[in-house]
A = this chain, B = another copy of it.
């Protein structure tokens, strides 16, 4: 009962053991982590690891129905077509066999061209991080969980809801860096509005690459920003251009302007990123009843048409460039037009999205979403329902895994922690149930016998410290003890935890030469004026 628990570590990998009192020097240290010299109050976490999808994904529609959605999408692309708001993209597609009329934005695709072109998209790839221990496998049965991204506002219990700013931006990066179950940054956790738009991407990407060491996303907001981000990701990894072009080290989400349109900044994102073998996550944002048909099958057919068109462009730009199929079909509240998330419609379309991605043999992106304004029961149930849709839908890349609220309009500090709890529970759910002579425990049952108790059995004593998932948030105290403690609810506990994590935060190590090169790059690009902001 005094052996250290090898499976449970605190942030950055130092072993937390509430019972043992090993000297600081004996505490183990993982590379990329930091030693903790004294007893820490930090919550126990699962160690850094990517879960694997062990269970057969749920098939919401039959194989025939899936083919009907697929065929409808091809018909949309062939007959209606899609608007591409960039001439270079249209020219590339025309050269590759798409039908484009001179001077028109509409692009139409023969079905065979679509099917032929997407064949070169890889089924899986490695997304590289600055810290090699944080490289991620994207595809197959691997899952990676991302941070919240792209929220214009931020909120915590103490300060309430406020406009996104650089200080909160940095703190949310630090917080997600400390959470082992957050595997990558899905974008800016909150928009740092107080950084001027012409140079915001430089400071923001610099923060992502220095305050943390996990894989990152950059926004497709024109050529200048995305090429700056690629250069910074290359510098941060300390690799040359050729290596960067071989090793995906950055990803960008491409949202179509549904229905059936891809705008210029997004197209430039595909053109620049795919050319250098970086990762496109092609995600139509198809809200049924608004930007897509009110029927789920129709919304999915539209999603699929837009996703296929984007995938085709990536492969035209560079056959073999990594591309992820993104599903983000939800519904609106038909009374108010407000988007809804974590709904039964969302769950099913998330799962059908996964069926489509598997049909095309590419990795699948889904999200952990909620429309709730407060960190209440609604926030939790919408998130778990969306995780149910994602996980049983076969998600490989989970965007907005920790902290997304209010339909994406704010990032919540407490929601980051509660979501990290949910993600840890999902990861534990994906742990195998080991069935062998040892775990079947016949000897223990013989020893205890009818009417006995297992706690004292050797079989229990030698295993109990690592037997079960240990929660950060869940309060299992009896009612009286809990009431004496002030009847704390989940958000209050989450509030304490994010503060403890931020207080314990230390930046991950970085080579001084790399840091200097990054700083020099940022300084130079700022002196050049950053990027034009008139897009």
Chain A interfacial positions (CB closer than 8 Å to B): 18, 54-56, 58-61, 65, 68-69, 72, 75-76, 79-83, 106, 161, 257, 259-261, 288-298, 300-302, 331, 333-340, 343-345, 347-349, 352, 371-385, 388, 392, 406-407, 409-410, 418, 421-422, 425-426, 428-429, 431, 433-436, 438-442, 444-446, 448-455, 457, 459-460, 463-465, 467-469, 471, 473-479, 482-483, 487, 489-491
Contact = CB atoms under 8 A, between A and B. Distances in A.
A343 B468 contact: yes
Given A58-B56, A377-B491, A383-B381, A451 B261 contact: yes
A237 to B, nearest CB: 35
Contact of A260 (B289, B418, B445): B445
B80 A289 contact: no
A354 to B, nearest CB: 13
A80 B378 CA distance: 47
Q: For the complex formed by this chain, how many copies does it contain in all?
A: 2
Given A331-B467, A388-B388, A450-B259, A439 B296 contact: yes
A445 B474 CA distance: 46
Contact of A491 (B294, B347, B376, B441): B376
A388 B377 contact: no
A169 B421 CA distance: 35
B410 A294 contact: no
Contact of A428 (B344, B374, B441): B344
B381 A381 contact: yes
Contacts of A388: 384, 388
B450 A260 contact: yes
Contact of A83 (B82, B380, B450): B450
11 contacts: A81-B450, A83-B451, A294-B441, A296-B439, A297-B433, A301-B445, A336-B476, A340-B468, A344-B431, A378-B473, A410-B479
Given A289-B467, A344-B469, 6 more contacts: A60-B433, A69-B435, A293-B459, A334-B464, A376-B376, A410-B479
Contacts of A477: 336, 338, 373
B377 A297 contact: no
A258 B490 CA distance: 32
A331 B377 CA distance: 23
Given A298-B440, A343-B469, A479-B161, A451 B259 contact: yes
B409 A479 contact: yes
A439 B289 contact: no
Closest 9 CB pairs of A and B: A298-B441, A344-B428, A293-B441, A380-B380, A260-B450, A377-B380, A384-B384, A297-B439, A295-B439
Nearest to A434: B297
A344 B435 contact: no
Contacts of A69: 435, 440
A297 B76 contact: no
Contact of A384 (B75, B302, B385, B483): B385
Contact of A460 (B289, B302, B345, B441): B289
Contact of A290 (B291, B333, B375, B453): B453
A373 B481 CA distance: 11
B482 A373 contact: yes
A365 to B, nearest CB: 20
Nearest to A333: B476
A288 B161 CA distance: 43
B467 A338 contact: no
Q: Name the residue among A82, A334, A337, A457 with the largest chain B CB count within 10 angstroms.
A: A334
A295 B487 contact: no
A479 B422 CA distance: 24
A290 B454 contact: yes
Contacts of A293: 439, 441, 444-445, 454, 457, 459-460
B377 A375 contact: yes
Given A55-B58, A376-B491, A371 B295 contact: no
Contacts of A434: 295-297
Contacts of A429: 344, 347-348, 385
Contact of A468 (B345, B375, B460): B345
Contacts of A478: 338
Contact of A289 (B294, B407, B454): B454
Nearest to A446: B80
A489 B374 contact: yes
Contacts of A292: 454
Contacts of A428: 343-345
Contacts of A436: 68, 297
